[in-house]
């Protein structure tokens, strides 16, 4: 034991490289720190606050639930769970829902369901899940093993068995699936952490065809792309496919911790009482937030407005690229944007922070921008103006 008191100054484990800002308040597209400084938040809590910070319609629903019941066991029926599950199945290709607390848990549930389906329903010994290079599926041992990035694996060896990585968007290598007997394929429609790389439609169609021919479960990780982020409630809708399992989280609760998998009836048979569970998954508070969020997205014109904002943002980003050679490429779908830059993306993020704009990285050379779906043209213009200042500073200083 050390006698140095400074060693205990921070009781938190050092698992995050935190920016030197303490946020204490949020509303809409803006957040405030403990010094009263106001920031334009174009991270949305990493694609979580899709309706902006503290949306009134969600706040009212949660406050109502707070007066009644905070938690009960999943051994009893929870009305908000059923309502949210009905909303999700009515607005997707799925039939059944399992609730958990996070994206990693949702992908963990999908992986377990794939194994159960292969072994208990199909009667095979299949257990392997095919994922893709540069993917990101979570930080539990199983989901980091599913992730196709070596840097995520470092320090956690040996990995969980049962995952094989193929190149993303590579038509030729899909032929390997004909010689494999996996339980499932798991992919992102846009690789967020991997660099904001959208799936190629032809590649996705071919993948879906092979999965159907070989009765391999097609599982789509919509943790970051779902709940309206890419312009439709789920990104897979834009690719003309119907996955067997969809994993979601982030935007589902407008900031309240909640995750879920939505499965077609065929796949859902893999779970039976006692095969999987979660103490807090789908509790009354989290599902109240989920009901308010999904109801609002599916009964209002927010997705149409967000599509218009996304188109406007695209135009402004192209104009920005034309002004600054530092920007090499613009990627993404809807309000999931990636700027491929020359040099260090983190340097740009830090300079933007100094100008009170919050943005993110997606790898060493990609700046990721995630506005709320409720963002305005004025807020987009504010973002663009700030980015111009940042890129001008870099160019003038020769950084």
Q: What is the mean pLDDT of the chain?
A: 96
Distance CA 183, CA 245 (A): 12
pLDDT, average across residues 98-119: 98
- State the Cα–Cα distance between residues 29 and 19, nearest whole angstrom: 19
Q: What is the dihedral of CA 328, 194, 240, 254, to 10 degrees?
A: -110
277 and 311 in one domain? no
State the pLDDT confidence band at 2, using cuts at 50, 70 and 90: very low
pLDDT-derived band at 396, boundaries 50, 70, 90: confident
Q: The pTM is what?
A: 0.95
Of 145-154, 176-185, 389-398, the one with minimum mean pLDDT is 389-398
Instruction: For residue 129, give every residue at least 6 positions away whose Cβ sits within 8 Å of its Cβ, in sequence order, or none.
Output: 111, 114, 146, 162, 163, 164, 182, 183, 184, 185, 186, 219
Does 228 lie in the same domain as 95?
A: yes
Percentage of the chain modeled with pLDDT above 70: 98
**345 contacts 391 by C-beta, under 8 angstroms:** no
Query: Same structural domain for residues 281 and 309?
Result: no
Please check whether residues 318 and 193 belong to one and the same domain: no
Distance CA 367, CA 328 (A): 11
pLDDT at residue 8, rounded to an integer: 59
> How many CA atoms, within 13 angstroms, populate the side-chain half-sphere of residue 17?
4
Mention every residue, 6+ apart, whose C-beta is less than 8 A from residue 399: 343, 347, 393
My answer on whether 285 and 181 are in the same domain is: yes
* Domains contained in the chain, number: 2
Separation of alpha carbons 291 and 86, rounded Å? 10
pLDDT in tens, 42-74: 999 999 999 999 999 999 999 999 999 999 999
* For residues 152-168, average pLDDT: 97
Region 282-289 average pLDDT: 97
Same domain, 82 and 176: yes
Confidence of residue 7 (pLDDT cuts 50, 70, 90): low
The domain of 47 spans 5-53+301-397
User: What tens digit of pLDDT does each residue of 209-258 get?
Assistant: 999 999 999 999 999 999 999 999 999 999 999 999 999 999 999 999 99
pLDDT of the residue at 397: 82
Residues 198 and 241 in one domain: yes
Do residue 305 and residue 295 come from a single domain? Answer: no
- CATH number of the domain at 21, please: 3.90.1150.10
- Are 169 and 188 part of one and the same domain? yes
Inform me whether the pLDDT recorded for 41 exceeds 70.
Answer: yes
* CA distance linking residue 193 with residue 162, whole number of Å: 22
Chosen domain end from 299, 330, 358: 299
Alpha carbons 152 and 140: distance in angstroms, whole number = 11
In this structure, what CATH number is given to the domain that contains residue 167? 3.40.640.10
207/354 same-domain check: no
Q: What pLDDT is attached to residue 10?
A: 85
Inter-helix orientation angle 377-397/345-354, to 10°: 120
Inform me whether the pLDDT recorded for 177 exceeds 70. Answer: yes
């Amino acid at each position: 034991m050390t006698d140095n008191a400074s060693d205990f100054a921070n009781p938190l484990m050092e698992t995050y490289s935190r920016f030197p800002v303490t946020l204490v308040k949020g509303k809409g597209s803006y957040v405030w720190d403990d010094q009263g400084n106001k920031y334009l938040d174009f991270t949305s809590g990493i694609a979580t606050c899709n309706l902006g910070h503290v949306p009134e319609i969600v706040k009212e629903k949660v406050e109502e639930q707070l007066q009644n019941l905070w938690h009960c066991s999943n051994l009893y029926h929870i009305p908000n769970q059923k309502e949210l599950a009905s909303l999700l199945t009515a607005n997707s290709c799925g039939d059944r829902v399992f609730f958990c607390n996070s994206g990693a848990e949702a992908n963990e549930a999908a992986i377990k369901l794939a194994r159960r389906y292969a072994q208990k329903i199909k009667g095979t010994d299949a257990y392997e899940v095919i994922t893709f290079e540069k993917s990101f599926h979570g930080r539990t041992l199983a989901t980091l093993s599913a992730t196709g990035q070596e840097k995520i694996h470092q320090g956690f060896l040996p990995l969980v068995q049962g995952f094989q990585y193929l190149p993303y968007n590579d038509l030729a290598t899909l032929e390997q699936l004909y010689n494999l007997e996996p339980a499932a394929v798991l992919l992102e429609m846009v690789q967020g952490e991997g660099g904001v790389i959208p799936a190629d439609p032809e590649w996705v169609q071919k993948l879906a065809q092979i999965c159907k021919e070989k009765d391999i479960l097609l599982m789509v990780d919509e943790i970051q792309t779902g709940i309206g982020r890419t312009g439709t409630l789920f990104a897979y809708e834009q690719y003309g496919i119907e996955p067997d399992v969809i994993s979601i989280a982030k935007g589902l609760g407008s900031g309240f911790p909640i995750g879920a998998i939505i499965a077609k009836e065929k796949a859902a048979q893999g779970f039976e009482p006692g095969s999987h569970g979660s103490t807090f998954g789908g509790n009354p508070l989290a599902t109240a937030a989920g009901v308010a969020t999904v109801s609002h997205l599916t009964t209002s014109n927010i997705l149409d407005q967000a599509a218009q904002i996304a188109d406007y943002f695209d135009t402004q980003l192209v104009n920005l690229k034309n002004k600054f050679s530092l920007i090499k490429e613009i990627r993404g779908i809807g309000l999931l944007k990636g700027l491929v830059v020359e040099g260090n993306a983190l340097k740009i993020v830090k300079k933007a922070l100094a100008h009170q704009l919050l943005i993110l990285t997606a790898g060493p050379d990609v700046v990721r921008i995630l506005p709320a779906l409720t963002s305005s043209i004025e807020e987009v213009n504010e973002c663009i103006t700030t980015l111009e200042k940042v890129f001008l500073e870099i160019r003038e200083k020769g950084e």
